[in-house]
Amino acid sequence: MKVKQLIAPVAALVVAAVVLLGVSAALGGTAQSNEEAARNEILSYMLPGRPASFTEEPYDGEDESIRRVFKAEDGYVLEVETAGYVGPMTLWVGVTNEGTVSGVTVRDHGETFGLGRGAQTDAPFLLQFLGTAGEAAVGEDIDALTGATVTSKAVTRAVNAAAAFVTGADVSSGATEWEG
């Protein structure tokens, strides 16, 4: 008697699982497509002229901080990872074909609240990098975030690494090395 009572609920669970798997499989491509469209929209803000499409290019260069390279007609957006004060920081840096920085955004970090965390939201700090070409230096042409010199230097290293990629600067030139 108990087996007969369990058949209906078990069958209902199996049917529900099959339906959910089918829906998940059908929408999986849509989710990936939506994610790619959202990424391209963010990337388009990083370059002048707001290019509509990007192609991801493989990177096998010497600079270990460069994670991904997205190419558009007007330039590149590079995903760069650098060591911040607390841990790794991931930035997207837009660089024109001429090697000029056209956009900077901090995508991920674990920096200290109230200090280094400002690197993600402090517009005046980030705007200092626009127009540079791989030669930015904290204390010279870049004012550090108050109380977050290490974080400021980390962002500077990432921006310089991106510009060095586009201009073809030698990695050993110091553009991507730790500045103390």
SS3 35: helix
- How far is C-alpha 19 from the chain's CA centre? 36
pLDDT confidence of residue 178 = 42
Contact (CB, 8 A) for 106 and 81: no
Provide the pLDDT for residue 171: 53
Pairing of strands 75-83, 88-96: antiparallel
Q: What is the DSSP letter of 1?
A: -
For residue 25, the model assigns a pLDDT of 74
For residue 90, give the nearest of 177, 161, 164, 178 by alpha carbon: 161
Note the pLDDT of residue 85.
86
pTM: 0.75
Task: Going residue by residue through the chain, which has 180 residues, state the pLDDT in tens, using 9 for 90 and above.
Answer: 577 777 877 777 788 888 888 777 776 667 777 777 788 888 888 898 888 788 899 988 888 899 999 999 989 999 999 888 888 889 999 999 999 999 998 887 877 777 777 788 888 998 999 999 888 889 898 888 888 888 899 999 999 999 999 888 755 444 444 444
Model pLDDT, residue 28: 66
Q: Given strand 88-96, what is the order of strands in its sheet?
A: 55-57, 66-71, 75-83, 88-96, 101-108
In a 3-state reduction of DSSP, which class is residue 95? strand
Amino acid, res. 81: E
**CA end-to-end span of the chain:** 76
